[in-house]
Structure 1
Amino acid sequence: MLKKGSKLNSILTGTCPKCQNESMYLDKNPLHLGSVLKMNENCSHCGLRYQIEPSFFYGSMYVSYGLNVAIGIAAFIISYVIFKAGIKTAFIAIIASLVILFPWVLRWSRNIYINMFVSYDPKTK
């Protein structure tokens, strides 16, 4: 499932989308909120520049919006439909899940966005 060369591997692990040999982020732990979005300039292995153009990652806001909507819908379905909670409890579950998953959504949205434009190159050794 997470074998090297798949986009899913690069998205979930935060590795370089071109060579998948190193992390794009200075701090691999997304729970360190002060450095959750601090990235390396280039991949030290293949030389890929992560900031492809100025303000490149502004587009990841749209990906983040989609991820947050999907998480909110999933939280609602799980709490309201499966656990038969009330509307207020379902709303609290949505807010809690969005707050808890916030650091991961930030990184996943950037990872998904850069993987839309950069593909894995097996020739990069």
Structure 2
Amino acid sequence: MGRAIVGAKCPKCREGKLYSVNVLSYRKLTEVNKSCKVCAANFHPEPDFYYGAMYISYAFSVALVITSLTTINLLVDVPKFWMYMTMVVVLNIVLLPAMLRYSKVLYLYGMSRLKYRGY
């Protein structure tokens, strides 16, 4: 299951792709495929299903801020405010696609009724 989550694969067959572009791409950030091309599983079980993924995305952002602030405090004797802000902004811009997409992947795996069916 870990490889399927990292690869953003279908929770039912673990072969079809959830996204039409690479998971780390900045194109089509919020667009999830309608269904699996391999097993025809529906990736949109109800309207606005992925709104719940915002909570996971928020947790990713909080973890990123805490990690970056701790790292700066460990590496710099007297950190300046601009160091904190620059690191948080840059890391958020760089990791935005991964955080948005993996929050949807984790939400789909955890909250949908799609269960693995080994064919």
Normalised TM-score (structure 2):
0.85
Kindly indicate whether the alpha-carbon contact (under 8 Å) linking 1:14 and 1:24 is maintained by their aligned counterparts in 2: yes
User: Match for 1:81 among 74, 78, 90?
Assistant: 74
Cα distance in structure 2, aligned partners of 1:11 and 1:20: 9
Within a 5 Å distance, the mapping from 1:40-55 to structure 2 comes to 40-55=33-48
Kindly indicate whether the alpha-carbon contact (under 8 Å) linking 1:43 and 1:50 is maintained by their aligned counterparts in 2: yes
Normalised TM-score (structure 1):
0.82
Q: Deviations over 1:25-83 (max 9, x none)?
A: 111253233x1222221112222100110000000111110111001111111122234
CA distance 1:84–1:101, shift in 2 (3 Å): farther
How far did 1:117 drift? 2.2
Cα distance in structure 2, aligned partners of 1:85 and 1:9: 41
How far did 1:86 drift? 0.6
Kindly indicate whether the alpha-carbon contact (under 8 Å) linking 1:75 and 1:94 is maintained by their aligned counterparts in 2: yes
Where does the alignment leave 5 or more consecutive residues of structure 1 unmatched? 1-5
Where does the alignment leave 5 or more consecutive residues of structure 2 unmatched? none
RMSD across aligned C-alpha pairs, in angstroms? 1.9
- Matched length: 117
